[in-house]
Amino acid sequence: MGESYGTRFTVVELTADDTKTQIWVALAKPSQALTLVLAEAPEGATAQVLDLALTDEQQKLFEELRLEPGDVHRIDK
């Protein structure tokens, strides 16, 4: 039986070795989101969940990405 990723977006801040930060969104529970984002990151990167409430506009933007449970997407600035 597959693991449930949940149905809410989790925002993750990723910091690479060069100290540049990236913002990622995952359609997964917070603990799973960290693992999923780090799997896409270069070796040595660190990640933390950003504890923030999404605005209606952000929620709509993330929904337009059409992510499936367990998917991640880097948000370009």
As for how many domains the chain has, the answer is 1
Average pLDDT score, the chain = 92
Nearest to 65 by CA among 38, 29, 26, 28: 26
What per-residue confidence (pLDDT) applies to 1?
41
67 located within any domain: yes
Give the pLDDT confidence of 20-58 residue by residue, as tens digits.
899 999 999 999 999 999 999 989 999 999 999 999 999
pTM of the entire predicted model: 0.87
32 located within any domain: yes
Domain that holds residue 43: 9-75
pLDDT for residue 63 is more than 50: yes
13 located within any domain: yes
One-character DSSP codes across 3-70: PP--SSEEEEEEE-TTS-EEEEEEES-HHHHHHHHHHHSPTT-EEEE---PPPHHHHHHHHTTTPPTT
4 located within any domain: no
Other CB atoms within 10 A of residue 30 CB: 16
